[in-house]
Amino acid sequence: MTTPIPSPPALPFLGHITHLDKEIPQRSFDLLADQYGEIYKLDLITRQSIFLASYELQDEASNEKRFEKAVIGALEEVRHGMGDGLFTAYPGEPNWGIAHRLLMPAFSTAKVRDMFPDMMDIASQMLVKWERFGPQHIIDPSEDFTLLAFDTIALCAMSYRLNTFYSEQAHPFVHAMSDFLTESAKRSNRPPIMNTIMRGSSAKYEEDMKTMNRLVDELIEDRKKNPVDKEDLLNIMLNKVDQKTRQRLSDEAIRNNLTTFLIAGHETTSGTLTFALYYLCKHPEAMRKLREEIDEVVGEGTLHLEDVPKLKYMSACLRETLRLNPPATIRVIRSVEDTTIGGGKYAIAKDAILAIITGKCQTDPKVWGEYAREFKPERMYGENFDNLPPNAWQPFGYGMRGCIGRPFAWQEAHIALARVLQKFDIVMDDPSYTLQLKQTMAMKPKGFYIHAIPRKRMSVPVAVSLSGPLAGATNGTRKSSSEASEENAEPKQKLYIVYGSNTGTSQTFAQRIASDAPSHGFKARLGTLDSISEHVPTDGPLIIVTASFEGEPADNAAHFFDWLQSSKGKEAEGVKYSVFGCGNRDWARTYQRVPKLIDALLEERGGKRLHERGSGDAQTAEFFQDFDEWEAQLWKALAKEYGFEAKEQKASVNGISFKTVDSDISRAAVLRQPDADLGRVVENRLLTSPNAPEKRHIEFLLPDSMTYRAGDYLSILPHNPPRDVHRVVSRFALSAEQQIVLASEGPTSLPVGKPINIFSLLSGYVEISQPATTRDLRSLLAVESSDATKAALEDLSASYAEKVMGPRLSILDILEDHVDIELPFATYLEMLPPMRARQYSISSSPLHDPQRPTLTVSVVEAPALSGRKEQFLGVASTFLASLRAGDMVQLAVRASAATFHPPEDVSVPMIMFAAGSGLSPMRGFLQERAAQKKAGREVARSTLFFGCRSPEEDYLYADSDLKEWQELGIVDVRPAFSRRPEESEGCKYVQDRAWKDRAIVHEAYDHQGARFFTCGSGKMAQGVKKMLTEFIKESRDCSDEEAARLFERAIQGRYATDIFE
């Protein structure tokens, strides 16, 4: 007896069309596979399709005796422009057979090898363009690889030079093709009547086809007028006779196939190359290995044809890229008979349409393991690739209707990638960029921009946006505000400041050094550590500020760290440097690991340490003081090294100045239009009772280009509380609406060179509430004030930890307490650190709604530790709490660690530890499992240990989601109430409840293969760790040391944490 194929709830007449993402339908197909499993069916108005999403079903469907290619949906719409060409011909159409027999020999490996010189020619044109524009130029690789592939197919297949790299604009064919493919996909998912009614879209569709046909007709006409003695594809189609039918291709068939080659021959290759660069940029070890292979095989000479097969690791990288992002995202087939699949489990009727989701089948954990979505080229290297199960890797399709141009695309991709990485170091414009997608016929990265830095050159760090991941990149050359101001600055000794930072602290410290540089006689350049990978500057001192994250480098330092660790010679010879490290001693085993290694390795590789490495512990009150003291000594060391006069830090304006533009008290209302980084608030509701600290549930609508996974973060760029902004305005006797223009002598995170009102400046660009540093106190002492005030400031300096850091006394607090301090507003601005984006764990799953993530947020509002009358307000949480439905927020999705996602295998249970708003990602995990359970999948029962105050005050989602999910059978919730332990079996905290129920933990770990997750404060996480270690000690009857060692071994690959303070 067969099993019914599951299907989502449908609407009358519309079926499942409303389930599809309008811009990226593929995203919806993938999410439905995550929810329903290996098979599901959809009614898409004009067709009913059965979707296959597992290796086993793909393997079984790869049988041309039982299934044949189906041309339906978007592909059928594409026939309007490509007719019965090789890609879009219906099974059995005569012209397909003629063209296939004529052209297959032209795409043989031997014939493609003959195209090598032409491919090299076009690749060289692109490299010349990148080199000419220079390392500061922002490159859209998707666009340039499109031009590369377009010119390559035209030259190799038709002996025609389009010369797009010598033009200001891309060829009209490229834009028409992109719009044509996009509209074809949309037309396939609309009711037919809608395509008839939408006359504007239809007219544009027709015009795009005319534009494409115009080029094809020109190519054919040019060849007829100017014959060439070359057996290229165009000559074959014009002159050859099919030996089987003794027929030539008709003029219409030639046009259809030329259009096919121009579209399919460049659209998919450009996407593959762009994805490959993205994955290599995100995986520095793979990038290093590939560069080493290129250097070994090609060196600094010219790439030769015989070099290509030697690039085995490059092949592995491209295969892995194609596994994760196949150009043909779905392969559609038709059943030629009544049959079954899945070992007889599912009945398939004759003529049924099956859509194989290639990307899902190629990431099936049963073949590729738990981390199937991760980029690991080694699994595609050598015999690992050879030993894959049959049909596990099908990015080029299957059988007779597979991609005819595979050898062409394979050689072209190798040449392009080898030439790019031989000549350039590739750095992402936004180091924190995470993959976003756009879809036409194929998928491509969206918003992915790079810098191409010539290798083995004198290094200049690539300037990066100080607003971090939320700064939108643009296509074209742009100058940062710091560069523009430097052009008119007098020559000074160069100083390079680079940082590795995820949370913004190291970046803030680096910015401080850059801001101070002009007053010490240095001309500062600011960038990320990755911007100097393999190109460490030697014409000026190098100052590095970087952090460790559980022993690993920051995202924008990973390439540099990998390069430095793998270097073996004197790569840092001539480099003069100093390092400051940020860390957290709660992770004692890996504390300061990255800064220590960088400091030691630079010296081992020939560098000269100018000043001893500094270190700061983010958990201590002395964190900022430690940096200030290290920086003060740094300037003295630099002054001695370069013969400058050592200068004390003064309170004068260090390069920041401003002028008034408009002193009018009125302010024009400006309407802001949403851009790619703007999300809309859908809901903001209170979760807790009035007696408990406020926690809120906030739902956002993401821009169309964004999506997320359960466990990811939402990065929010907040505004300071209006109360605190008005305090500053009042203290300096300013008008909040007054317009000013800032100017800066050196790099700055402030908006220079354009009018801005003071309220907007203070609200969005600086941190007002951060504790004052010892350097700030010295600056305040340096300006005019009374003797009594100076004595008070001296006292604060002498007891900094107790009287400033402990009570979190800000510069503003001090200025309000001492009104006689005559601090210029410009100096105050420069003393403030830049506004940081805050990351919050997403508390929802895309299976519930891929465009509407939610946050579960603790709102920080408490008596000020300083004893001031005003409550202390958390910057980001206060901003979030104030949002109303409809508000626009600047945000970005940030990927979490690879291990911090629910297991792909839904039969694997989860053991989760959370307290307070630490429930956030766990709610997302459980919402995902609930959606999968409702879709009919067998889901393992997980256990949640959750800590809060009491059932009535802050037992989050207890009467809604958690209650429903317990009844559904996907989770067993074990609460711990700190103020009502009698209602949680005497357990006060999470670790207490887990210890009491340790038999559950033991069973899940030893017998069910469970994965463990912790989210909460560092204190809670340490408590859980201690509990688990104690459990090991009890069960194994061993010492504390042995239990700690066994814990570290036991958690490998099975325990993930997300800790916040």
156-164: list long-range contacts, CB under 8 Å, 24+ apart: 156/115, 156/118, 156/119, 156/232, 156/408, 157/232, 157/233, 157/234, 157/261, 157/265, 158/219, 158/223, 158/232, 158/233, 158/234, 158/258, 159/228, 159/230, 159/232, 159/234, 160/219, 160/222
Residues 165 and 152: their CA atoms lie apart, in Å, by 11
Sorted by sequence, the CB contacts under 8 Å of residue 889 that are 6+ apart come out as 678, 679, 680, 681, 700, 716, 717, 883
Query: Is residue 698 within 8 Å of 684, Cβ to Cβ?
Result: yes
Ramachandran angles phi, psi of 333, nearest 5°: -130, 165
CB atoms within 10 A of CB 370: 17
What tokens were used for 575?
């480099």
What tokens were used for 864?
């000020």
CB atoms within 10 A of CB 395: 24
* Three-class HEC string of 633-666: HHHHHHHHHHCCCCCCCCCCCCCEEEEEEECCCC
Sorted by sequence, the CB contacts under 8 Å of residue 506 that are 6+ apart come out as 499, 500, 545, 546, 547, 554, 582
Sorted by sequence, the CB contacts under 8 Å of residue 135 that are 6+ apart come out as 451, 452, 453, 454, 460, 462
| Residue 396 annotated to the active site | yes
Return the closest-CA partner of residue 611 out of 528, 513, 501: 513
Catalytic residue among 317, 403, 948, 987: 403
| Residue 281 annotated to the active site | no
| Residue 913 annotated to the active site | no
**Can you tell me whether residue 300 is helix, strand or coil?**
coil
What tokens were used for 183?
């509209």
Catalytic residue among 211, 259, 268, 269: 268
* Three-class HEC string of 605-630: CCCEECCCCEEEECCCCCHHHHHHHH
Return the closest-CA partner of residue 268 out of 403, 450, 126, 165: 403
Sorted by sequence, the CB contacts under 8 Å of residue 655 that are 6+ apart come out as 515, 518, 519, 744, 745, 746, 748, 830
Sorted by sequence, the CB contacts under 8 Å of residue 798 that are 6+ apart come out as none
Burial class (CB in 10 A: 0-12, 13-18, 19+), 154: buried
Return the closest-CA partner of residue 444 out of 178, 673, 91: 178
Strand-pairing partners, residue 543, are: 497, 578
Catalytic residue among 396, 560, 624, 627: 396
* Three-class HEC string of 16-46: CHHHCCCCCHHHHHHHHHHHHCCEEEEECCC
Catalytic positions: 268, 396, 403
